[in-house]
Amino acid sequence: MDYKSDKYFKDFIEYNDIGLPIAFLIDNELVEPSHLAKQYVHETWDIFMAALELTQDMGWESLEELFHYVDKKDDN
């Protein structure tokens, strides 16, 4: 929600208008994930990783931690 109006994420958020809310609901234990719900979340994550030009999940605990990693990677 913090990046909803960010110009860099606008297209990503609009395209993933199903995967992002499902991920939120699952993460907050408001719903039990079905197979289809998991597919949407995984697809959303894969698109996000590709947009950041990352090939693997490094186990980040927050978006801030992920963005810090990307910034450091881009500095090299």
CA–CA separation, 47 and 69 (whole Å): 17
pLDDT band at 76 (very low <50, low <70, confident <90, very high): low
Residue percentage of the chain with pLDDT more than 70: 99
Predicted local distance difference test score (pLDDT) of residue 50: 93
Domain ranges in the chain are 10-75
Predicted local distance difference test score (pLDDT) of residue 4: 79
CA–CA separation, 8 and 10 (whole Å): 6
Predicted local distance difference test score (pLDDT) of residue 29: 96
The pLDDT of residue 10 is above 90: no
Contact criterion met (CB below 8 Å) for 12 and 51:
yes
3-7, 16-20, 30-34, 40-44: least confident range = 3-7
